[in-house]
Amino acid sequence: MIEALPYRESAAIFGAGPLANLLFWLAVFFLEPFFDPGVSLANPQNQLIATATFSLIAFVIYARKALSAYVVPLLGLATIALVVFALLKFGSQAVGGPVSIVKAAGKSSSNFVSALHFAGFMSLNLALFNALPIYPLDGGKIVDKLVGRLGERTQNIFRMFGIALVLALILGVILSDCFK
C-alpha cells in the first residue's frame, strides 16, 4: 500500500524511523546533564550539536512531508561521508558489528548514566545507518521511489545492488568483529 502513495507521503512514512531515533538521541543528549554532573551543555561543541540537531528536527516536523523526502537521504549521504572519514582516520577499529555492540553494552551497564548514554549513542547510530540511501533501508526506500520514475528495470537494478551492498556491509562488520 505504501508503494501506491505519492512520493512525499511515502517518504514521510519511511523517514519516520530515522527521525524517531534522532529524537530519542536528542532527548538523551539533553537529559544526560541532569544525571551526570560531569556532562555540561555549556560546552560549545555540545551546544553546536544540540542546536543543529534540534533545528533539523524542528524543521522536519514543521514541514515533514516535504522535508523528510529530502532530509533523510541527505542524512544518509552525510553518514557515508562520516563513515569514510572514520575508516580513513581510525581504520577498521571504527566499525563494529554485533559482537562489538554486546561488548560495549556490557561495559556501559555499570550505571544508569552510562547505560542511558549507550542507548542514545546506539539510537543515533541506528538513525544514521537506517538513513543510508541504500535499498532496503528507509533512506533507500525513499530514493527507490525516485529511481522508480526512471523505469522498472532501473529500479530493480537499484534494489539488487542495494541488497547486495547491505549484505556485504553486514558480512564486513561481522568479519571485522571476528578479527579484533
pLDDT at 66: 61
Residues in the chain predicted with pLDDT less than 50, given as ranges, are: none
- Structural domain of 41: 2-178
- Please work out, in degrees rounded to the nearest 5, the angle formed at the alpha carbon of residue 99 by the alpha carbons of 94 and 101: 65
pLDDT at 154: 92
The pTM of this model reads 0.76
**If we measure between CA atoms, which residue out of 8, 178, 2 comes closest to residue 95?**
178
pLDDT at 103: 85
Per the structure, the count of domains in the chain is 1
**If we measure between CA atoms, which residue out of 83, 81, 125, 85 comes closest to residue 101?**
125
pLDDT at 153: 93
pLDDT at 60: 64
pLDDT at 96: 78
pLDDT at 67: 60
